[in-house]
Chain A
Amino acid sequence: MPSKLAISYHLVTKSFGPLRAVDDVSLDIAEGEFVAIVGGSGSGKTTLLRLANRLIEADRGAITIEGHEVQSVDPVALRRRIGYVFQAGGLFPHLSVADNIGITPRLLGTPTADIATRVDELLELVQLDRDAHRDRLPEALSGGQRQRVGVARALAARPRIVLMDEPFGALDPLTRDALGDDYRSLHRKLGLTTVMITHDMTEAILLADRIAVMRGGKLLAQGTPAELSKSEDAYVLELLRTPRRQVERLNALLPTSGAA
């Protein structure tokens, strides 16, 4: 495990009124790691993610990004340094694909010509045809294409850390699979640190190096899929059983191609 920490949560708590959305959570994410935070709705996983770039402020505890306490950094500068992929894209409907992708460099004052070059690079990186998509509005794109643009936008300012909020949740299974694989290879190629939240354990197992399981604001367990399977927590084990059961059922229902 690499020694340098990209993100570190230390005894972090965040309440919304009487509800403890995140309850004394500690979690370290190393540089270059791909971590999935898994949990149901209301588990606090989204809150935990947003605490990292200060879309939400913590009540207690310390969060550091690349060694710096987030409270000591200007939140706007912090967010420009961290890529963020929103659920269902979160693209601005009044801006073209190119303008959406180029938004963070533009905010950082990058010259227009450089932004245009970068946009073309990114379109290629997320495998979208440059001429066909550059000037389109988001409404003219399919769900998968929108999420590719969302990923490109998150990467535009060359962040080392990318946060993803259920990025592939709303996509059809084929697109979802392709996009997951494509992102995984980008993660590796660009040496990113990625934190992705998902409610889908299968997706987490297939994409992430390490998985953190949340429930009711608590971090129940963290580790590689193999480590998790040794957990004694019933909920964690139940979460892990589900994909296995699905596989078994699928194997029973579908004749394995190429099998004798």
Chain B
Amino acid sequence: MSLLADPRWGEALAHLPDYLGNHVRVSLAALALGLAVSLPLAILTRNRPAPRAILLAIASIVQTVPGLALLALFYPLLLLAASVTLAWFGVSFSAFGFLPAMLALALYSMLPVLRNGITGLNGIDPALIEAAKGVGMTARQSLLMVELPLALPVMMAGIRTAAVWVIGTATLSTPIGQTSLGNYIFAGLQTQNWVFVLFGCFASALLALAVDQLLGLIEAGLRHRSHARSALGAAGIAALVAATLVPSMGRSSQGYVVGAKTFAEQYVLSALLRDRLQTAGLSATARSGLGSSVIFQALKAGDIDLYVDYSGTLWANQLHRTDIKPRAELVAELKTALAKDNITLLGELGFENAYALVMPKKRAEALGIRTIADLAAHAASLSIAGDYEFFSRPEWAALQKAYGLTFRAQRQMQPDFMYAAVASGEVDVIAGYTSDGLIAKYDLVALEDPRHAIPPYDAILLLAPKRAGDERLQAALEPLLGKIDIATMREANLRASGNDANSSPDAVARWLWEKVGGR
């Protein structure tokens, strides 16, 4: 099949009005806010070297914070602010999506605007400022009639840089819940959908280029005092904005929002949940690619209505527990704890996505290894590989302690490559994930953990506080509970890791429902 005939292009195109519109809106709002703050600051500090230096230093430091981290930082900050306003004034706001993205991007846009603003204003011939005074202008008139018009081309160059930065960085706002062209890229990278990745990259690059050229036209117009060129550029920007704003008008409310973290299994499950709700006649959308730390808070705050998490994750991260309990007991205790926050733990889906020590089935059989305890006897002559965080996680410490594991060598690897490495014998054992489709593909086996050193990671369905008594919702989800066994989820994940039209989360979700729906 030729690349261009791939139906995923069509799927990508269908998302474009939504993704592009949101991308332009958040970029525009961020840029407007950035300008509204930076330009007055540039004007106020133009003749004050000390505050100017401090301001530029702060803006430079902000610029060195990676875009993703800056965006992620704003979410907890706003949550805190929201809880404060709720306590003091009885009003709260959503710390999710648009607001944190806009604030972080606005901060990001400040450096070029400030720097060029100050450079532009300070670069004006002092004789002209003297002349402005001499012909009888007040300080304000001098600023408005002489200094700002003369500094405008340089300022415009700064605004142009800021616009390109903001549009580029806005693709990173997907994990904090702001829909953007980054949705293509995040989803594509996680589900190995290169069509989406390419589409997202091209779309954001084109948008940045178009805006850059249009602003460039305005800048050239200002530089050469050609009103025609400025007007043409401004008209282009206005048309672009209008085109992305119009489709959003009259859009109905989103209904239920299904959240998903940033990996393929989550994309598939959120698509499945959305389909179930829609089949039950409920309006639903999926909000994918949310950061792992953001998603639970988003549920708690009601920004999303439901999602799938893993029992061990919440046990450690939300309950801050380090002890280990059997699967059912842990879920039951978790359910009680979450109920205090009014969060409903509706039930388990049936499979676990836990860390597991994995090796080729044939090799395990040949060595007589069935459990980790069996493995411990051979470990000294074997090598192990894990993802970048595994060897510093409590699970690894617990495993070593419980079974006295000492390997000949340990290596860190990109998760996608681990399975192939163990299948080819490059390493002997890997710390994989139980629901990973590659376990089936490479004919590997996950070793049993009889001493329960690794906490259970049952996939559990969580509902937001505001959906606690929502019977229609619960009825729609009921058929999924306990129906997805590990083998089925592995196969679904394997399908999702393919790079063809049948591997999109939507297609895999449909396949999954066909498998489990009749159970």
Contact surface of A with B, Cβ cutoff 8 Å: 53, 55, 76-77, 79-80, 84, 86-88, 90-94, 103-104, 107-108, 137, 153, 157
Contacts and interface: CB of A to CB of B under 8 A. Distances in A.
B131 to A, nearest CB: 4
Contact of B136 (A80, A88, A93): A80
B391 to A, nearest CB: 64
A84 B135 contact: yes
B336 interface: no
Given A92-B131, A92-B146, A104-B136, 11 more contacts: A55-B133, A55-B134, A84-B134, A86-B127, A90-B127, A90-B134, A94-B149, A94-B150, A103-B135, A107-B137, A108-B136
A203 B21 CA distance: 68
Nearest to A139: B225
A53 B134 CA distance: 8
Contacts of A53: 134
Main SS class of interface, B: helix
Interface size class of B (residues with CB under 8 A): 10 to 19
B294 to A, nearest CB: 48
B474 interface: no
A92 B136 contact: no
Nearest to A78: B136
17 contacts: A55-B134, A76-B136, A76-B138, A79-B133, A86-B134, A87-B127, A90-B127, A90-B131, A91-B131, A92-B150, A93-B128, A94-B146, A94-B149, A103-B135, A103-B137, A103-B145, A104-B136
Nearest to B139: A76
B133 A90 contact: no
A79 B150 contact: no
Most A CB atoms within 10 A — which of B130, B132, B136, B138? B136
B278 interface: no
A87 B134 CA distance: 12
A114 to B, nearest CB: 17
Contacts of A84: 134-135
A90 B130 contact: yes
Most B CB atoms within 10 A — which of A88, A107, A153? A107
B141 interface: yes
A236 B47 CA distance: 41
A79 B134 contact: yes
Given A92-B146, A93-B150, A94-B225, A86 B138 contact: no
Contacts of B130: 55, 86, 90
B394 to A, nearest CB: 66
A153 B127 contact: no
A76 to B, nearest CB: 5
Contacts of A55: 130, 133-134
A87 B130 CA distance: 11
Q: Which 7 residue pairs of A and B lie closest in terms of their CB atoms, listed nearest first?
A: A80-B136, A90-B131, A84-B134, A79-B136, A94-B149, A104-B135, A103-B135
Interface string B108-119: 000000000000
